[in-house]
Amino acid sequence: MKSIKRIALVSAVSASLVMIMGGAANASTSAGPGSTFVAYEGPGFTGRTQVIDKCGVTNLRYRGSYKWYGGGQSGRMHNQINARGPVHFTLPTQSNAQQKTVVGWKSIFVVC
């Protein structure tokens, strides 16, 4: 009986840790789902996609077009990988944006 209780306790603690650690990486806040950047391989929102919804730096795999869904965080766009160099454009915190054509950005820093 003790081993069943111990297994149940370990399972509950593990599930709680997974939820806490998983939530820390997202751009979401208690006020909403957070901001999301979707990079498309081709122009006109075509081809493969890369969805970015976490805080901090992410290098863009695709630069054919993009959609931004502002949900509380801004996105600082850089023309170099790893968010190096100057910020070339800042995506808004509370509104959406998109571009159907190729962009020069190579990385994004989602500010949380």
Fold of the CATH domain 26-111: Gamma-B Crystallin; domain 1 (2.60.20)
Express each pLDDT in 29-79 by its tens digit: 444 469 999 999 999 999 999 999 999 999 999 999 999 999 999 999 999
**Structure-token pair, residue 86:** 């100057």
Q: In what order do the strands lie in the sheet with 97-99?
A: 46-52, 36-42, 65-69, 97-99
Q: How would residue 9 be classed by pLDDT, with cut points 50, 70 and 90?
A: very low
Q: Which residues contact 96 (CB under 8 A, 6 or more apart)?
A: 67, 68, 69, 70
Residue closest to 69 by CA, chosen among 90, 42, 92, 101: 92
